Amino acid sequence: MPKLVNYEERRRELALAAWRVIRRDGVEGASVREVAREAGLSTGSLRHYFRSQSELLTFAMRHVMERVERRAAGVPRPAEPLEAAKVVLAELLPLDEERRAENEVWVAFVARAMVDAPLAALRDEAYDRLRGACARWITELRPAGADEERVLETERLFGLIDGLAVHAAMRPGLATPDLLSAVLENHLEQLVQAKPTGTAGEP
92-120 average pLDDT score: 95
Amino acid letter, 15: A
SS3 state at 48: coil
Output the CA–CA distances (angstroms, integers) from residue 35 to 4, 90, 166, 176, 190, in the order listed.
22, 31, 25, 30, 45
How many residues are given for the chain? 203
pLDDT digits over 140-179, tens only? 999 887 899 999 999 999 999 999 999 999 999 999 999 9
Entry pTM: 0.88
119, 181 Cβ separation under 8 angstroms? no
**Residue 5: per-residue pLDDT:** 66
Residue 202 neighbours by CB distance under 10 Å: 10
Residue 4 has pLDDT above 60, yes or no: no
67, 128 Cβ separation under 8 angstroms? no
